[in-house]
Amino acid sequence: MKHITVLGAAIALAGSLVAGSASAADITGAGATFPAPVYQAWAVAYKEKTGTGLNYQSIGSGAGQTQIFNRTVDFGASDAPVATDKLAQQKLLQFPAVIGSVVPIVNLDGIESNKLKLTGPVLADIYLGKIKKWNDKAIADLNPGVSLPDQGIVPTYRSDGSGTTYVFATYLADVSPEWKSKVGAATSVSWPAGAGGKGNEGVAGTVKNTKGAIGYVEYIYASANSLVTVQLQNKAGKFVSPTVPAFQAAAANADWANAKDFAASMINTPGDTTWPITSATFILLPKEPKSAAQAKEVMNFFDWAFKNGDSIAEKLHYIPLPTDVADRVRAAWKSEIVADGKPVWSN
């Protein structure tokens, strides 16, 4: 199977914007593949501007959580928000870094991007193994005039612990009571049907090379590799295509002010134009860091990204944090990251 990645493209984008390239890294992070392209692109630009590098391992949210729990990296990254009690136990601060969206992708002859329409319940039934053929009546009824093949559906999912899976499964649980009761939402679930692939790259590659396949990836992986996306019916009953304005509409409805540990939900939010599978991705930083200097470098990096990284994020189809949310994050750094009884963040 061809290995598909967008990290090279992200780094090239940042290099074209700042005319520089990353070399030795001074900050270490690990975790989610969902935001890896933007972190890598920010790292190139930040290295050029400050001389400080970032080595980010795109190994999945579950593994990223484990690495920061074990304090083997300076920060962890997870698409799935960590529960409040676990954050307290591990003495971690959780904050959002950027907003992205998960999109279904398909490999069907004659089907172009955003021509196929699906609803949440139909998507859940596909992954439950209840809808097995592409010309099933449930799909055909949503797509009059579309020639659907008499072909078996190959549901494809993340085989590794994955925040992308958490986001996707949370959406399926929201739209399907059967999915909620039988499978639920977590970084790893027991998939009733289909085949696994490691990372967003693995799922993208499997779908691209398997006729009849359907999968889910972060939008940049679909966009960068010209994969076929679909329209989804949102909470307002409207069929919408995955576009940056649709992601922005979902982000605009998030209740950041009342979100515990910044875990504001953007899943299936109201609004005629909203994309229903949108989520922030999170950074995990020790509240009592072993090295105050390293913790401050991490905060300096994300502070720079909040101030200067929007254009890079948007070119990669991510949604930057609202300014007021970034300000709340900085306030949390100042009040909660402490070394030797003193705040580490003082900017």
pLDDT in tens, 182-214: 999 998 999 999 999 988 889 999 999 999 999
Rounded to the nearest 5°, which phi and psi values hold at 70? -85, -5
Q: Is the pLDDT of residue 321 over 60?
A: yes
Q: What is the pLDDT of residues 104-156, one digit of tens each?
A: 999 999 999 999 999 999 999 999 999 999 999 999 999 999 999 999 999 99
Q: What is the pLDDT of residues 234-267, one digit of tens each?
A: 999 999 999 989 998 998 888 888 899 999 999 9
CATH code for position 200: 3.40.190.10
The answer to the question of residue 260 being in a domain is no
Same-domain pairing of 75 and 44: yes
Structural domain harbouring 247: 102-254
The residue among 236, 254, 272 that closes a domain is: 254
Q: Are strands 92-106 and 213-218 parallel, antiparallel or unpaired?
A: antiparallel
Judged on CB neighbours under 10 Å (0-12, 13-18, 19+), 251 is buried
Determine the pLDDT at residue 3.
Answer: 38
The answer to the question of residue 205 being in a domain is yes
Dig out the tokens for 30 from the structure: 């690990």
Same-domain pairing of 162 and 231: yes
Same-domain pairing of 93 and 108: no
Determine the pLDDT at residue 23.
Answer: 40
Cα dihedral 130, 132, 134, 140 in deg (nearest 10):
-30
With contact defined as beta carbons under 8 Å apart, do 344 and 338 qualify?
A: yes
pTM for this model (two decimals): 0.82
The answer to the question of residue 275 being in a domain is no
Judged by average pLDDT, the poorest of 56-70, 249-263, 291-305 is: 249-263
Same-domain pairing of 127 and 220: yes
- C-alpha angle with apex 106: 120 to 79, nearest 5 degrees? 60
- Give the separation between CA 114 and CA 130, rounded to whole angstroms: 23
The residue among 238, 254, 270 that closes a domain is: 254
The answer to the question of residue 272 being in a domain is no
Q: Is the pLDDT of residue 89 over 80?
A: yes
The answer to the question of residue 227 being in a domain is yes
Determine the pLDDT at residue 306.
Answer: 97
Dig out the tokens for 78 from the structure: 């997870």
Same-domain pairing of 180 and 310: no
Same-domain pairing of 131 and 249: yes
Same-domain pairing of 94 and 44: yes
For the chain, give the mean pLDDT. Answer: 90
What pLDDT band is residue 77 in, cutting at 50, 70 and 90?
very high
- C-alpha angle with apex 219: 7 to 298, nearest 5 degrees? 50
The beta strands (E) that lie in the chain are given as 27-31, 54-58, 75-78, 92-106, 117-118, 154-158, 195-197, 213-218, 228-229, 231-233, 239-240, 278-286, 338-339, 342-343
Same-domain pairing of 333 and 235: no
Same-domain pairing of 79 and 136: no
Same-domain pairing of 116 and 178: yes
The count of structural domains within the chain is 2
Rg (alpha carbons) of the chain, rounded to whole number = 20
- Give the separation between CA 289 and CA 125, rounded to whole angstroms: 45
Same-domain pairing of 168 and 298: no
Q: Which residues pair with 215 in a beta bridge?
A: 105
Same-domain pairing of 169 and 309: no
